[in-house]
Structure 1
Amino acid sequence: MNPRLLAYGLWCLAVLSGVVMAANAGYSPFADGRRAPLRAGGGYYGPTHK
């Protein structure tokens, strides 16, 4: 296998995993506020992005 193809595949995998982790955490680089604090019942209320 071509080393450049392997490097490109690893780069694509890193970008894809970053997108999946950001979607799972509810992170948005365009959000004005921070994530909501923990509720009394436990867990996050949800993402605060618009």
Structure 2
Amino acid sequence: VASPVHGDSCAETCTCRSALQHAIITAPAARDAEMVKKLSAVAGRMLKNTVSGE
């Protein structure tokens, strides 16, 4: 079990925050609803308008 992350002083400037911004991703109509649910915690912002209507 990993210990909790309390804060990251570089979080606001880290390029990882926008890593998916220009990614090529599957069209919403072709996405698997179960996989979208699984990925929502890490890529929810990028997976809006999914097949499940989220």
If the TM-score is normalised by the length of the shorter chain, which range does it land in?
A: under 0.3
- Comparing both structures, which one devotes a greater share of its residues to helix? 1
The structure having more radius of gyration, on CA atoms, is 1
Higher RCO structure (Cα 8 Å, ≥6 apart): 2
TM-score, L = length of structure 2 = 0.27
